[in-house]
Each structure stands twice: as C-alpha cells, then as structure tokens.
Chains A and B, each alone.
Chain A
Amino acid sequence: MKSILPNLLRFLSGDAQADRVVPPTGFTARLTVFASAAMAFLAVFALALSLATGRLADRWGEALAKSATIRISAPVDQMDAQLLAVTEILATTPGVKEARPLGEDEQRALLEPWFGPDLPLDRLPIPRLVEVIEDEEGFDADGLRARLAGEAPGAILDDHARWREPLVKAAKRLRSLGWLAIVLITTLAGVVITLAASAALSANEQVIRVLRLIGARDSYIAHAFVRRFTLRALGGAAVGTVLGALALFLLPSAGQQGSFLTGLGLQGWQWLWPLLIPPFAALVAFAATRQAALTVLQEKR
C-alpha cells in the first residue's frame, strides 16, 4: 500500500524524455478524449438516475409503508357508531401509533380535484376516512381486518400495499437499470479506449520496432502509451463530468408538483459522487491500454 502513492505520483508526473518517445498527435488522441468526455457525461446522468430512483424507492417504500387508511361505507344513521367502533379498535391495536378521522375540510380537499370546491359533503353519502399511522413495529393487517369485519362491517382497511408495491418495485428496477447503465458505459468506455489504444499501437508499429531494437523493455513501451491514454481519458472525463453536472444543475425547477421529474438531479452530498467519474475513467483507460499494449507487444519479438 505504501508504494502505491509514490508510484501513482511518479506515473502522473511522468518522464519528459520517455513521454516524447511516442508521437503526440493522431486521431486516436481526439477519439480517446471525446469518448471519455461523452461517457463521463452519460455516466453523470446514469448516476443521477440511480440515486434519484433510489431516493424515490426509499420514500415510497418507507414513508408510505408507515401509513394506512380505513374507509367506512355505512348508512348515514350507522356512520358515527361504526366510526366510534373503528376508533376504539385502533386504540387497542398493537402497532398503531396514531389514528385520526379526516375532517370534512380534508375530505373536501381530497375530492376537490374531481368535483370542484363547492361539494356539499353533508348531503352526499361520502365514506368517512381514518388515517392510521404505524409505529416502528407496524400492525398485523390481517388481524385488524378480521376485527373490523366483526365490529365495523362497513370499514375496509387499505394499507396501500396494492399500489405501493409495484411503485416501489418499479423504482428499484429503475435504480438497477441506472447502475446497469453505468456498468455498460464503463464497459463501452473500456472498449472504445482499447480500440483507440490498439489503433495507436498499430499506427506506431515502426516506433515500437525501433524501441524494441534498441533495447526498450515491454514495460517501458507500454508505459509510454498507457500514461498518454490515461491522462487523455482523465482530461476528457473531467470535461464530460463538469458538463454533465452543469446540465443537471441547470435542470428547471418545477417545485413540489414536479418533484418526480426534477428529483432526477443530485442532492446535497450526492454532488460529490460525480467527482469519482474522472479517476474511474482514468483507471479504466489505464487497465484497457495496458492490456492492449502488452497484447500487441507480446506479438513482437
């Protein structure tokens, strides 16, 4: 471990004379820089997608899992009695932290998007709703349903599981897809850089032949190419990362209503994650170029 840092510093500082051995220009240089920048740009978005869907899955999974609703549909003359029964059942149900019947204003607010603001609740057979908040332990939904069926037959427990589970599953799947995209982007970056390095090695066959002829070791020749490609990938990825982060930062804000869309950005400490992309790209370039260089060199005597 102690030797890693000095070796890394030596690699980054380089050897001015050794660096000059490989011709500095060529389309492979531009290809490597562009590919690294493009991959880093995409990686920022894939990362943001993964983190955002992770947050979404957590929110849906945790926040909604802690709440449930009991809907009481009963004749008007039995409504108050059944509401009282439900309240008493909930008060004695383990795992229920808080239970509260929704007031008329709250129910009106819930129905307002469909029926408008002047809904005469007192003249309509609207079911009563009871909001149930679970404690850390949670309650036994099946047991509670059985008790409600016996003591308040008009009461139906909705623990949100029916619609929450597919949403959570979808969010988790999106998160997995985000990570898969990062893996694919990384692999693609490795492939493109390997191709660029192979092309550079082929274009410099004469250089390699001369270097072998005068006694250069494989590691020396490989190092000259590897360092150049690694630094190109690092530079390209840094530019791509900055542009990607900037694009995320400039995403228009749509407030709470659009949080699903605008939540695709990064939040708080998550802005540090993209900082890992350039060194990671450099690491991929290092491994890909080294492998390509050593493979090509092994074919030569």
Chain B
Amino acid sequence: MIELEQVAYGYGTGTLLSGVSMSLAQGSFHFLTGPSGAGKTTLMKLCYGELVAEQGQVALFGQNVQTMERDDIAEMRRRIGVVHQDCQFLDHLNLSENVMLPLTVSGRSLHDPSELQELLAWVGLEKQAEAKPPELSGGERQRAALARAVIMSPDVILADEPTGNVDWEMSLRLLQLLIELNRMGKTVVIATHDMNLIRSAKSHVQARVLRISNHQVTLAGADL
C-alpha cells in the first residue's frame, strides 16, 4: 500500500529523516513512535504526499509520489483517511457537513442518508451533528476527524497523535475505533509517543511498532 525506499527529508540544513525504508501492507496495523521532533509527523506527511522526499522514493498504491500529477495526488488522498492532532475543520460548516466534506469535494453522496447518522453514532457524536467545530471538545473533534477520515471508506488510515489532546478514557475509545477499522481490513498507522496506548492495544490487535530515532526508522523490539 505504502512503500518508502531510502527516503531522506530535512528542514533547512538539518536532516530529519535519512535512509528510511518501510512497507505498510494491506490490513496491517502500525504504531509509529519516537520522541517529540523525531519526525513522526513528517513521515506521515510523506506517506500521504503533503511532503515530497528529498531523496529516495515514496510509492502510494504502487505509484511514485514524486512523479504524480496534482489531480492524481488528490485522487490518491481519497483512499487515505488522515486524522491530525490539531483536527482541521471548516469552522463555518457544522459537524455533519464537515464529516461529509470528502464526499462533497469528490462529487459523491451516501447511498442512504442514514449512513451518516450511523457513522456519527459509531463515533458517539450523533447528538452533535448540527454543532459547529468550535463548539466541540477536544475528544469530540478527534472523533469527528476520525469519522471524516473514514467516510470515503479509505484503504489506509493515518492518525497523527490522535490522542494528543484527550484524556485517557477518550484515548482508549479512539484506539478501539481504529482497531475496529483495522478489523474491517483497513491499514492503520498511528503516530504516538504514548507507550501506554501502545501497550493497551496489545491484547486487541496484531500491531507492529516502528521507532524513529537518529533519523532512521527501526522495528522497536518484538511484535506486540
């Protein structure tokens, strides 16, 4: 699904990632961990084409990102659901409209309007459907971002510190939702520095932990 080969990236004169190679297979579940500033978010952005590798090659669904046309990148992003730490919404639209946005921009609609209610109920936000993003709490925003990320039924879910702004209980709930998605066959990558979250996933999912340190990505010990 996503393959990185000898990828290097830096900001200014500093190198952040160097010689990174990894492959995310369909249906796999990965944690990406490492200290703050190690390059977790950068690696995620490389994975959905917001950044372009300075060296090496990133292939998404078999296509080289460096040589993709802009429209092809847009199409490719419809197959990748992204959940950001600072969930980005359009504040003038309500929650339902924000969640529906990926469908709106691709000119599609739900087969059945009740599917939206089901999706919002799945993330526990059915009562907030009409609320504007600024009216939502941190946990509600994260769950809304997750709902938006999956509404197109993407092949890959990339979650960048999805539990960064929520309490432990909400973190577990979000983790549970991502595990459910993985059971549906989605490839899931969660970038987090929270080792407790990784440990708590142990009994529920077959996950691999990738660690970023010294500009490299390594497998962190045995599989969970």
Q: Which residues of chain B have C-beta atoms less than 8 A from A216's C-beta?
A: 74, 105-106
When distances are taken between beta carbons in the complex, the residues of chain B under 8 Å from A206 are: 88
In the complex, the answer to whether B52 meets A215 with C-beta atoms within 8 Å is no
Q: What is the minimal beta-carbon distance from B153 to any residue of chain A, in angstroms?
A: 13
**Given the known A-B contacts A217-B71, A218-B70, are A210 and B89 also in contact in the complex, defined by CB atoms under 8 Å?**
yes
Task: Report yes or no: B104 in contact with A17, Cβ–Cβ below 8 A.
Answer: yes
Shortest distance from the beta carbon of A176 to any chain B beta carbon, whole Å: 44
Interface contact B102-A214, CB-CB below 8 Å: yes
Q: Does B34 contact A (CB under 8 A)?
A: no
Q: Are B105 and A207 in contact (CB under 8 A)?
A: no
Question: Given A20-B93, A209-B88, A215–B51 Cβ distance below 8 Å?
Answer: no
In the complex, chain B residues whose CB is within 8 Å of the CB of A23: 90, 92
Indicate the size class of the contact surface on chain A: 20 to 34
Q: Which residues of A contact B75 (CB under 8 A)?
A: 215
How many residues does chain B have at the interface if contact means C-beta atoms less than 8 Å apart?
Answer: 27
| Bound Cα distance A220, B89 (Å) | 18
User: Does A301 lie at the interface of the complex (its beta carbon under 8 Å from any beta carbon of B)?
Assistant: yes
Which residue in chain B gives the minimum CB-CB distance to A213? B82
Name the CB-closest residue of B to A211. B105
Contact B77 A215 (CB under 8 A): yes
State whether the Cβ of A251 lies closer than 8 Å to any Cβ in chain B: no
Closest-CB distance, B221 to chain A (whole angstroms): 33
When the two chains form their complex, are residues B74 and A21 in contact, meaning their CB atoms are under 8 A apart? no
CB-nearest residue of chain B to A220: B105
In the complex, which residues 171-185 of chain A have their Cβ closer than 8 Å to any Cβ of chain B? Answer: none
CB neighbors of A among B62-85 (8 A) = 70-71, 73-78, 82
Which of the residues B48, B51, B76, B88 comes within 8 Å of A210, measured between beta carbons?
A: B88
Binding site for A on B (CB under 8 A): 48-52, 70-71, 73-78, 82, 88-90, 92-93, 97, 101-102, 104-106, 148, 152
Residues of A within 8 A of B (CB): 17-18, 20-21, 23-24, 206-207, 209-220, 298, 301
Q: List 29 A-B contacts (CB under 8 A).
A: A18-B105, A20-B93, A20-B97, A21-B93, A21-B101, A206-B88, A207-B90, A210-B89, A210-B90, A210-B101, A212-B77, A213-B77, A213-B82, A213-B88, A214-B82, A214-B101, A214-B102, A214-B105, A214-B148, A215-B75, A215-B78, A215-B106, A217-B71, A217-B105, A218-B70, A219-B71, A220-B105, A301-B52, A301-B73
